[in-house]
Amino acid sequence: MTAVRVRAGVFVCDGLLYASHAFVCVRNMMLVGFFLVFCPVLGLSLSLAHSLWAIWLAKAALNAWRLVASAVYLHWEGRARPVGSCA
């Protein structure tokens, strides 16, 4: 159930980011999340268990990253920066 709530939060935050035209920020969050969260978690989980669960664990970690990063951007940085910037 927790993964469903995290995904729901991610989709809500994605919608808010798209509505504010923060496409650069979404791109940067996805790139950082893929290389610094998804790939390491996938490599570690595949080394421990060779199953589909490893991919699901990496995807859940990526979703958690996306939720935290978008919430931080929307809450603190989104108001202080011009539309579309994410530095």
The answer to whether residue 53 is domain-embedded is yes
The DSSP call for residue 80 is: T
- Note the pLDDT of residue 82: 52
Region 40-55: what's the mean pLDDT?
A: 92
Cα-based distances in Å from 38 to 35, 74, 75: 6, 22, 24
The answer to whether residue 17 is domain-embedded is no
Number of structural domains the chain divides into: 1
- Is pTM beyond 0.85 here? no
Region 23-41: what's the mean pLDDT?
A: 94
Rounded Cα–Cα distance for residues 34 and 32 (Å): 6
Domain carrying residue 46: 23-76
